[in-house]
Chains A and B, each alone.
Chain A
């Protein structure tokens, strides 16, 4: 099981390694980590910390995409969750109540999306587009159009604090990633999600309750988006309805794609998506550390990502496979490439 997972995420690990080395090349102190005031410091820690929102989003997005869906609303849900948390603490309640309220808001958003997709059969891209646009409006209503700042230590801790010296966001996304991975893989949830993503008609005929599963994945996506929203708000000690999580849904989708998960649904790997999120953050880091003028940032990011996607494209995979097949002179009697021992890049777990 662990070996299979490792084989599955090997391409992502390699890419991450290369991008981290690029970081090292432009900034030799990149791997340096030190403890200051009982807190870990270093560029690597920054990557893990800054990558937290996209990493969290990618967990839910992976599940949604596995069902052949997509959730465009996560950025807006982040804004709503941040606004809810901020308004609850400024209203005088404690940080924990604020967190619960934000998570409940996230679940409500997920339920809305899930109902539209599962019961009203609205195409996921349209269903979630509604909330993507309207959600930011909802967040603005909550904050009354201002940046709602707060000073609640407990809430700020979620974004800027540490747990045993590790920044809290890192702890949260690692824990969430591990939890969801365990739940989907230790129960039958993962397999059933993959089944409806691959062939919903056949799955329904096999007796699978696809509606419940669809609602579940959108709920998960809403939940992790709310967590990400709280972290982002806590980090800046305020809820900014206009900018919190803006365009982040696209980074989350990109993380899932870099993770080698097909947008057509089916087999998925959350670990690979999390690595994808880290790759994106490392790319951001390269650009910052290289000291290039900021106006180059987006263009360079796009170029690096195009290279990553081309490396993962079926054509390149196929040629790598053919090269290997040529190299090994032993001819297998199995029909077709997929039934013989596969090169690591094609293995899915």
Chain B
């Protein structure tokens, strides 16, 4: 039926380059009136870049946009809003300290003799919100209402100002189930009036519940446009992750892991990660697989004590321990290379040298500084062993490339000679060469008897080095794959069929 309709928005061949890198490569997006269209893809696939290029927040480097059959070229979100494309972001972009009416009408307030017409404003606000099934007092502060209601106010504002296309960027990320229903009903109401809605989310269940069609992006390209009625979640996951069907070499074959060193029972943190059991043995790599937001990072964080667990117990080599802070984890010979290198990993203005010895020095305490000669020896050793490319160890680490920063962070932890190393997305955002080197390193460390936990969104990678793969979904462990079971196919299946296995 869509094919007979005229599209309300048609973007063709959208290109966007960032400093030489291709962020969007001839991306097409077609929206029909009355549909909810999901825009899917892993982090960095180009969803946000596409939205920003469409609304004029970014200046696109190529391609055309047609709205209602007419070419448009918005230069700013304000302009695209005036043309009819409204956007609502995950974090409500409204002013909490002003009233609901103020928020709805900011910038286009009803006036009476050059003065604000408060009465008219509140009256119209009440009327508009009624249309969304909200019977609230618009004179109250926005902050006195729940996030879901704020989200609906944001949607109402965007619709009033634009009215043809509404883009929702992760609108449900911080909502609970009932609140999600509220937002969904608002969206359905809008599409029944003929609007087109673009829905961006990481929650596939919601996609299948709400959306009619989906465009899937990977590495800045459209890898598929599907009618959701015709496909399964597994198909979509496969498209998103782009797992190649040619079998990936399994390198971590039947290894013989040593004794259990870390054992966790019912370990978890409410609201962050459901309780899980995990036994970690010397000489094994436990891979954590799952979509974004599935609990990979949360698992790493709770083990390392970045947030302390509120349930369950942990034993290290048979002795009960409390992992309450990174500092205690460090004292128990654990290490964590965090997912977000820039904010959680590097100390940007310190030199590479200082960054490498930071954890070792932190463990020794400030009163016992490492000797200059020892520092140089450690730094030289790891710069060489990990092939960190730098002009001088004295240069600030922020000047290094992503891959070299990651290697320096690995060096920081390796210098503490950990028994257990947790790597969260160790290969994210680094170039191909460094990528392969880090995978080799994981392999080498495992052979030397270290126990590793590696969280990654790249299936091939997990298959390559994991001795076991734990699959997470909706913040709980749903499946553990061992030996021959570890294939990208099985991982993808476990991710998409999570609820049946649990």
A residues at B contact (CB < 8 Å): 186-189, 191-192, 194-195, 198-199, 201-209, 213, 266-267, 334-336, 338-339
Residues from chain A with Cβ under 8 Å of B363 in the complex: 207
Residues from chain A with Cβ under 8 Å of B396 in the complex: 338
**10 contacting pairs across A/B (C-beta < 8 A):** A192-B366, A195-B350, A201-B343, A202-B338, A204-B326, A204-B327, A205-B344, A207-B326, A334-B391, A339-B399
CA distance A334 to B391 in the complex (A): 8
**A198-B347, A202-B345, A205-B336 known; A192 vs B362 contact (CB < 8 Å):** yes
CA distance A290 to B371 in the complex (A): 52
**A195-B354, A338-B395, A338-B399 known; A206 vs B359 contact (CB < 8 Å):** yes
Q: Could you give, for residues 362-386 of chain B, a 1 whenever the CB lies within 8 Å of some chain A CB and a 0 otherwise?
A: 1111111110000000000000000
Residues from chain B with Cβ under 8 Å of A207 in the complex: 326-327, 329-331, 359, 362-363
Which listed residue, A188, A199, A334, touches B366 by the CB 8 Å rule?
Answer: A188
Assess whether A187 is in contact with B369, with CB atoms less than 8 Å apart. yes
Assess whether B326 is in contact with A199, with CB atoms less than 8 Å apart. no
Assess whether A267 is in contact with B369, with CB atoms less than 8 Å apart. no
Which listed residue, B327, B331, B336, B361, touches A192 by the CB 8 Å rule?
Answer: B361
Residues from chain B with Cβ under 8 Å of A213 in the complex: 366
Assess whether B338 is in contact with A205, with CB atoms less than 8 Å apart. yes
Assess whether A191 is in contact with B326, with CB atoms less than 8 Å apart. no
B411 interfacial by beta-carbon distance below 8 Å: no
Which listed residue, A191, A198, A202, A339, touches B361 by the CB 8 Å rule?
Answer: A191
Assess whether A198 is in contact with B349, with CB atoms less than 8 Å apart. yes
**A192-B366, A205-B326, A207-B330 known; A199 vs B346 contact (CB < 8 Å):** yes
**A195-B347, A339-B399 known; A186 vs B362 contact (CB < 8 Å):** no
Residues from chain A with Cβ under 8 Å of B83 in the complex: none
**A203-B347, A205-B344, A209-B362 known; A188 vs B369 contact (CB < 8 Å):** yes
Residues from chain B with Cβ under 8 Å of A205 in the complex: 304, 306, 326, 336, 338, 344-345
B328 and chain A: residue at smallest CB distance: A207
**Which of A199, A204, A209 has its CB near the most chain B CB atoms (within 10 A)?**
A199
Which listed residue, A191, A192, A267, A339, touches B391 by the CB 8 Å rule?
Answer: A339
Please name the 6 residue pairs, one residue from A and one from B, whose CB atoms are nearest each other, closest first.
A207-B330, A207-B362, A188-B369, A208-B362, A189-B366, A188-B366
Residues from chain B with Cβ under 8 Å of A336 in the complex: 399
B483 interfacial by beta-carbon distance below 8 Å: no
**Which of A189, A201, A208 has its CB near the most chain B CB atoms (within 10 A)?**
A208
B186 interfacial by beta-carbon distance below 8 Å: no
A340 and chain B: residue at smallest CB distance: B391
B7 interfacial by beta-carbon distance below 8 Å: no
Residues from chain B with Cβ under 8 Å of A334 in the complex: 391
Residues from chain A with Cβ under 8 Å of B364 in the complex: 188
Which listed residue, B344, B348, B358, touches A208 by the CB 8 Å rule?
Answer: B358
CA distance A188 to B392 in the complex (A): 21
CA distance A63 to B399 in the complex (A): 25
B residues at A contact (CB < 8 Å): 304, 306, 325-327, 329-331, 336, 338, 343-350, 354, 358-359, 361-370, 391-392, 395-396, 399, 412
- Besides A205-B306, A338-B399, 17 new A-B residue pairs in contact (Cβ under 8 A), listed by A number: A188-B361, A188-B366, A188-B368, A188-B369, A191-B350, A191-B361, A194-B350, A195-B350, A198-B349, A201-B343, A205-B304, A205-B338, A207-B359, A208-B327, A208-B358, A209-B327, A209-B362
CA distance A336 to B329 in the complex (A): 37
Residues from chain A with Cβ under 8 Å of B368 in the complex: 187-188
Assess whether B358 is in contact with A206, with CB atoms less than 8 Å apart. yes
Residues from chain B with Cβ under 8 Å of A199 in the complex: 343, 346-348
Instruction: Name the distance in Å between A179's Cβ and chain B's nearest Cβ.
Output: 15
A266 and chain B: residue at smallest CB distance: B349
Assess whether A206 is in contact with B412, with CB atoms less than 8 Å apart. yes
Residues from chain B with Cβ under 8 Å of A198 in the complex: 347-350
CA distance A22 to B366 in the complex (A): 43
CA distance A209 to B362 in the complex (A): 8
Assess whether B359 is in contact with A191, with CB atoms less than 8 Å apart. no
Instruction: Name the distance in Å between A186's Cβ and chain B's nearest Cβ.
Output: 7
CA distance A124 to B345 in the complex (A): 24
Residues from chain A with Cβ under 8 Å of B369 in the complex: 186-188
Instruction: Name the distance in Å between B359's Cβ and chain A's nearest Cβ.
Output: 5
Residues from chain A with Cβ under 8 Å of B399 in the complex: 335-336, 338-339
**A186-B369, A187-B367, A188-B369 known; A202 vs B347 contact (CB < 8 Å):** yes
Assess whether A339 is in contact with B349, with CB atoms less than 8 Å apart. no
CA distance A255 to B444 in the complex (A): 52
CA distance A191 to B394 in the complex (A): 13
CA distance A208 to B358 in the complex (A): 8
Residues from chain B with Cβ under 8 Å of A209 in the complex: 327, 362
**A191-B361, A208-B327 known; A339 vs B350 contact (CB < 8 Å):** no
Residues from chain A with Cβ under 8 Å of B367 in the complex: 187-188
CA distance A206 to B327 in the complex (A): 8
Instruction: Name the distance in Å between A340's Cβ and chain B's nearest Cβ.
Output: 9
Residues from chain A with Cβ under 8 Å of B370 in the complex: 188
A335 and chain B: residue at smallest CB distance: B399
Assess whether B412 is in contact with A191, with CB atoms less than 8 Å apart. no
Residues from chain A with Cβ under 8 Å of B395 in the complex: 338-339
CA distance A198 to B358 in the complex (A): 13
Residues from chain B with Cβ under 8 Å of A189 in the complex: 366
Instruction: Name the distance in Å between A188's Cβ and chain B's nearest Cβ.
Output: 4
CA distance A205 to B342 in the complex (A): 12
Instruction: Name the distance in Å between A220's Cβ and chain B's nearest Cβ.
Output: 13
CA distance A339 to B398 in the complex (A): 11
Which listed residue, A186, A187, A194, A202, touches B344 by the CB 8 Å rule?
Answer: A202
**Which of A198, A213, A338 has its CB near the most chain B CB atoms (within 10 A)?**
A198
Instruction: Name the distance in Å between A138's Cβ and chain B's nearest Cβ.
Output: 31
Residues from chain B with Cβ under 8 Å of A191 in the complex: 350, 354, 358, 361
Residues from chain A with Cβ under 8 Å of B343 in the complex: 199, 201-202
CA distance A201 to B306 in the complex (A): 10
Instruction: Name the distance in Å between B171's Cβ and chain A's nearest Cβ.
Output: 27
Residues from chain B with Cβ under 8 Å of A206 in the complex: 326, 330, 347, 358-359, 362, 412
CA distance A335 to B363 in the complex (A): 35
**Which of A188, A191, A201, A207 has its CB near the most chain B CB atoms (within 10 A)?**
A207
Residues from chain B with Cβ under 8 Å of A201 in the complex: 343-344
**Which of A191, A192, A198 has its CB near the most chain B CB atoms (within 10 A)?**
A191
Instruction: Name the distance in Å between B409's Cβ and chain A's nearest Cβ.
Output: 9
Instruction: Name the distance in Å between A189's Cβ and chain B's nearest Cβ.
Output: 4
Instruction: Name the distance in Å between A207's Cβ and chain B's nearest Cβ.
Output: 3
CA distance A198 to B396 in the complex (A): 12
CA distance A206 to B337 in the complex (A): 9
B338 and chain A: residue at smallest CB distance: A205
CA distance A299 to B419 in the complex (A): 63
**Which of A188, A194, A208 has its CB near the most chain B CB atoms (within 10 A)?**
A188
Instruction: Name the distance in Å between B305's Cβ and chain A's nearest Cβ.
Output: 10
CA distance A111 to B438 in the complex (A): 45
CA distance A208 to B354 in the complex (A): 13
